[in-house]
Chain A
Amino acid sequence: ILNVEQSPQSLHVQEGDSTNFTCSFPSSNFYALHWYRWETAKSPEALFVMTLNGDEKKKGRISATLNTKEGYSYLYIKGSQPEDSATYLCAPPNSGYALNFGKGTSLLVTP
């Protein structure tokens, strides 16, 4: 089981603010890094699957970077909107498939 740390644990920003979170994971035996967005009572929604060191992916206002050598990934949200409020989870898979989730960063965006 991999030790995955996410910070901050929670975040409260105003609409329009840009924000970012960190996911730290062991850099040895790296397979991939998954980011999910999860609203309570709904399905966790896949945002990105990142595999290569230096990878940078973007989906709308959300983007992510990956550093496999030092074992971290950043998730950025540009111009946060209230609908971005959710818990953002990162998960490096163990042996390529079983996801090891961090505790997540809970984001609240207020108008």
Chain B
Amino acid sequence: DAKTTQPPSMDCAEGRAANLPCNHSTISGNEYVYWYRQIHSQGPQYIIHGLKNNETNEMASLIITEDRKSSTLILPHATLRDTAVYYCIVRGSGSGTYKYIFGTGTRLKVLA
């Protein structure tokens, strides 16, 4: 089973920030938090990942709580093209498995 919990759906107005939460209360010290999105049935698209520090790239920001039990993906200015299913995935980096275990994700709808 996935080690993450996400709300099934969210709406966001175009141009506003979309804040997508994820709970990963059983995360281990060497496990990273990854975010992907899937538009329709296309291949999952990498967005961002982090271990414990907040991260930012050209697509999004990732805020990880100090206890690492939850995180938030922020799309600063959502557009209609950001409508997708967003997946939060916890994956190890040591000698353990490197497979991704996908949950059901959050279906984000950006409204005009």
Q: Do A and B come from one complex?
A: no
Q: Which residues of A line the B interface, CB within 8 A?
A: none
